[in-house]
Structure 1
């Protein structure tokens, strides 16, 4: 059992290989979430006659299972989506120790999924030959590893890319907390898209109902922290502060981290944490988000829900909300070649709108600099907020989460937020991160 003194921040480390691309990030989200775009562009979901594409995100849209991501070329031909068209890399990685003796792996922390999987020595030789920068888990080198006989796992995305393998248990250490007998999913097969990612694997922080292990789903690291009493009973939670490499001159130097089992009071300060109930029925950190505002003008969204997803770089919202936001930015336009909203890179900060989204009953503002995701050339930037297409809920990814200190309270089934102030909102021009 960990004492509070033993708990520590887990740094969120910028991936030096990551290159920002608006359209590639959007294609990745089409792949991850399987929605049909409602705005024009080269990428769309093609209906397939197959019964199912395997284990897929479960959000009550059965018809999504028979779709595959496709691309329409400039000549009108329809074909597969090349790997180079997708964002296959992760912007930030977190250190996690697995095994005895412990070995460090750099993982993608994702509140939109529930699998803990790693590159393993069970992968084919030709795959391992490409793994020069990867940390590889070899179960034979850990004296605490136990095979989970008969268990297997598979993640399949909407373009039929997949990763799969075997399952075992081992000691996993996250931020000073040693979790015993944690299920670890070992990759023995993966699509080229996964091979291109700098991450050594993924650590899912959603609810275990969407874990892909069969025949029986396994508990997530946070669930095991709770049952093993590794974290205090009054703090069965984790928190996320998503800073930015572009905030190096801010007082906090753009620090980015997760905590498990405690709330960083320096981040809360004199503010009160605003909490709202989480609907975990679909396995996600989902909550009511029934209004948005653009320069104080409300966009009513009766019954609208949103999920907080650290595994999504952008924010995806309804077309009506997108239109209200970009209508408020002079010179903005929807660029069908980029399949996204863009606006002039020289837009002064005071000409950018104040955009808020509701978390339950309270509104939280996006930092103005995060309205710009990256340069797309011709003096334009790709917006950090884009269309969710046919998805029935918003995905509030890093664009939104960078504006708050987020508390994922698993014990009390609630999501908490504290607004973070951004000194850059008083600067003169949009600073889009370069790709």
Structure 2
């Protein structure tokens, strides 16, 4: 999920003695990759397609989550490459706020022998959907499936807000932010992200994601798994330092097409944010794609198509490929949000102004290698 930050760039680059966790208790010479299982949270009152993994009747579609141990206490957090904080709902929040976390428990810093508050440090986030979270910063041991960072800076929420249109609940206690540290919200000095702090303990400064059609999957910390993908792999640079894209996994100037033909429309800068469900593109890109589908219509304010139609594949055409083919294709069925036999069905393609987002339709097709050192993203077809 994209974070809206108002701090000056000079603040974002500041460092001090607490900017990196202590390695006490861990030997950074012993490096190994970690594979942590994940699954997609789907509210029980929704229907999941066995063919596409689409979640019908809601627009957020759930998200991929995993159990995280903070000071030995298990909380459920979502994987979010669009933000750079690891924060959690906690017992510091009022009780009525604690009850809005619908899955698992909240973190109790007083119940951890390895927890201590960092005096004078706070975090605060405002998300694009109007929600937000803020509170003090504690250091504690964080363990994600065996990927362990001691003395990690955790945002401990004491005030949780919900945006307009929200039902006032959360599926998880918070996010594992896997953007770049320049976006971290801790003040007075930002902190390294979980993946950045994990670097001393893993073979490579990368992570790999495989989100599956059946709403399971995994994340590889510190290595890419060649058994997870098949065929050619495309590597593209990340524009995480360009103006307006600081700290994000963004690829500039992506064009779109279908069946090997490129649409005659302007390219779009694309955000690869795992905290967002829908594929978001410009009005012109959406119109060019749905012009290929007989009976497709946007008169209701969003694109719909006649149910039962076989949708054409969608090509992402990258303008600045480092290696591999420039065209990466996702199946048209990934865009379906409904599988009725008659009537009009909705889709997982949204229209936006400004930067687009790859969304779930892309992620469930590809094994993605996120390299924060180069930085690059690499895409290949998943082995399912």
TMscore range, shorter length: 0.7 to 0.9
Asked whether 1:236 is paired with 2:262, we answer no
Distance 1:222 1:130, change over 3 A: closer
Give the one of 343, 350, 356 matched to 2:305.
Answer: 343
Structure 1 match to 2:237: 277
Residue by residue over 1:132-179, the C-alpha shift from the partner in whole angstroms, topping out at 9 and shown as x without a partner, is 643111111111112111111222235643221111111111232211
Residues 102 and 172 in structure 2, CA contact (< 8 A), matched pair in contact too: no
Residue by residue over 1:356-377, the C-alpha shift from the partner in whole angstroms, topping out at 9 and shown as x without a partner, is 1124441111122211124699
Distance 1:342 1:87, change over 3 A: closer
Corresponding residue SS for 1:369:
helix
Distance 1:169 1:195, change over 3 A: farther
TM-score by length of structure 2 reads 0.80
Residue by residue over 1:9-49, the C-alpha shift from the partner in whole angstroms, topping out at 9 and shown as x without a partner, is 2222232426669xxxxxxxxxxxxxxxxxxxxxxxxxxxx
Higher share in helix: 1
Distance 1:335 1:199, change over 3 A: farther
CA distance in 2, matches of 1:372, 1:86: 13
Residues 114 and 205 in structure 1, CA contact (< 8 A), matched pair in contact too: yes
CA distance in 2, matches of 1:325, 1:216: 45
Gaps of at least 5 residues in structure 2 are: 1-27, 48-56
Asked whether 1:219 is paired with 2:192, we answer yes
Q: CA deviation at 1:3?
A: 4.9
Provide the aligned length of Structure 1 versus Structure 2: 336
Distance 1:110 1:130, change over 3 A: closer
Structure 2 match to 1:14: 40
Residue by residue over 1:405-433, the C-alpha shift from the partner in whole angstroms, topping out at 9 and shown as x without a partner, is 111001221111113488xxxxxxxxxxx
CA distance in 2, matches of 1:375, 1:272: 31
Residue by residue over 1:247-278, the C-alpha shift from the partner in whole angstroms, topping out at 9 and shown as x without a partner, is xxxxxxx6411111111111234x34321111
Asked whether 1:355 is paired with 2:314, we answer yes
Residues 290 and 301 in structure 1, CA contact (< 8 A), matched pair in contact too: no
Structure 2 match to 1:311: 275
RMSD of equivalent CA atoms: 2.6
Q: CA deviation at 1:205?
A: 0.7
Q: CA deviation at 1:304?
A: 3.4
Distance 1:134 1:255, change over 3 A: closer
Asked whether 1:267 is paired with 2:240, we answer no
Asked whether 1:104 is paired with 2:130, we answer no
Gaps of at least 5 residues in structure 1 are: 22-84, 246-253, 423-435
Residue by residue over 1:213-262, the C-alpha shift from the partner in whole angstroms, topping out at 9 and shown as x without a partner, is 22221110011112xx1111xx21001111122xxxxxxxx641111111
Asked whether 1:257 is paired with 2:218, we answer yes
CA distance in 2, matches of 1:315, 1:88: 11
Structure 2 match to 1:381: 345
CA distance in 1, matches of 2:333, 2:100: 37
Residue by residue over 1:101-143, the C-alpha shift from the partner in whole angstroms, topping out at 9 and shown as x without a partner, is x122211101111111111010002223455643111111111
TM-score by length of structure 1 reads 0.71
Distance 1:319 1:121, change over 3 A: same
Distance 1:132 1:166, change over 3 A: same
Corresponding residue SS for 1:238:
strand
Give the one of 95, 104, 107 matched to 2:67.
Answer: 95
Asked whether 1:199 is paired with 2:172, we answer yes
Alignment of 1:53-132 (within 5 A): 90-99=62-71, 102-131=72-101
Residues 372 and 382 in structure 1, CA contact (< 8 A), matched pair in contact too: yes
CA distance in 1, matches of 2:253, 2:101: 42
Structure 1 match to 2:122: 152
Structure 2 match to 1:370: 334
